[in-house]
Amino acid sequence: MRILYCGDVVGKAGRSVVLAHIPDLRRQLDLDFVVVNGENAAHGFGITEEICRTFYDVGVDAITTGNHVWDRREIIGYIGADRRLLRPLNYPEGTPGIGANVYTTADGRRVMVMQVMGRLFMDPLDDPFAAAEKALRNHRLGVSVDCIIADIHAEATSEKLAMGCVLDGRVSMVVGTHSHVPTADARILPGGSAYMTDVGMCGDYDSVIGMRKQTAVARFTSKMPAGRLEPAEGEASLCAVFMETDEATGRARHVAPLRIGGCLPPQWPV
C-alpha cells in the first residue's frame, strides 16, 4: 500500500496548500490512503466540521488532532459522529470521539489509524503506551488489518522514539506530530516499522512554527502581553511522509519525507 501522512495544518495557508496538492499527489504517487493532522487548521487553533469536509472532498481519508482538538468548542458536538476525525486515545474515558479506527479502502484493504498524545511537557493525560497497547489488542498487522498507522502527538523527541521502539514490528508506521518542524530521521526500524520523529507542518515557514513572527518574538523578548498569536499567511509548504508497505506483512518497504512549496527546499519521495 502507498500511504501519505501530512503534518499539522496551520491556518488558511496550511489548508490552502493541502487542498491544492492532495488531488494531484493521490494521482502522482498512486496513493491508497491519506491522513492529515488538522488540529491547527482553524486559524491556528482547532478544527471545524466545515474544514473536515473540505479535506474529505479533496481525498483525505482520515484526520488526526492533538492538544488543540477542543479549541473550537463546536467540535465537541460533532466529533462523535465523524469516525474519520480522531482525537488522542489517551484522553480520559468518556471523552467524546475516538482515538483509533479501521477504514476500508476502495479496493477492500483495511487501514487502522491510531493516535496517542505524549505526556512530557504536555497535558497530564492517561498513559499513551498503555493506550496504544489496548488499541492493538484486537488487531494484528498482516492478519486483521493490512496497514496500521500510529501518530504520537508529543513535545519530547525521546517520548516519540520510545513509542517507535515499543510499536516496532507491530505497526506499519509510527509518525510524530506537534513540533511543526520536520526531522531528518525518516527510516525503517529494525522490526520493519517506518518511523519519523516529526513530519513537520503544512503552513508558512516564514514564521515561528506557523505563527506571525512579530507577535511570537515579542512574547519571548519582552515577557509582556503581545497580543493574540495569528497564523502566518505567506506561501505555505506541505510537509508529509510517504510510506509504501509490503503487501504480505503490512510492514514498511520504503519511507521518505515529501515537501512541496514555500521556503523549505523541495523533496520528493523517490
> For residue 36, is pLDDT > 80?
yes
Q: What is the pLDDT of residues 141-161, one digit of tens each?
A: 999 999 999 999 999 999 999
**pLDDT tier at 228 (50, 70, 90 boundaries)?**
confident
Mean pLDDT value of segment 119-137: 96
Grid cell 506530530 in the structure block, residue: 177
The confidence band for 266, taking pLDDT boundaries of 50, 70 and 90, is very high
pLDDT (tens digit per residue) in 166-193: 999 999 999 999 999 999 999 999 999 9
Per-residue pLDDT tens digits for 67-124: 999 999 999 999 999 999 999 999 999 999 999 999 999 999 999 999 999 999 999 9
Active site residue 68: yes
Q: From CA 59, how far away is CA 50, in angstroms rounded?
A: 15
Other beta carbons within 10 Å of 253: 15
Furthest-apart CA atoms within the chain: distance in Å: 57
Q: How much of the chain exceeds pLDDT 70, in percent? A: 100
| Enclosing H/E stretch for 114 | strand 110-117
Q: Catalytic residue among 21, 43, 68, 178, which?
A: 68
**Domains of the chain, earliest start first:** 2-260 (3.60.21.10)
Task: Give the cell for residue 23.
Answer: 488531488
What is the band of 226 on the pLDDT scale with cuts at 50, 70, 90?
confident
pTM to 2 decimal places: 0.95
DSSP 125-191: -S-HHHHHHHHTTT--BTTTBSEEEEEEE-S-HHHHHHHHHHHBTTBSEEEEESS-S--S--EE-TT
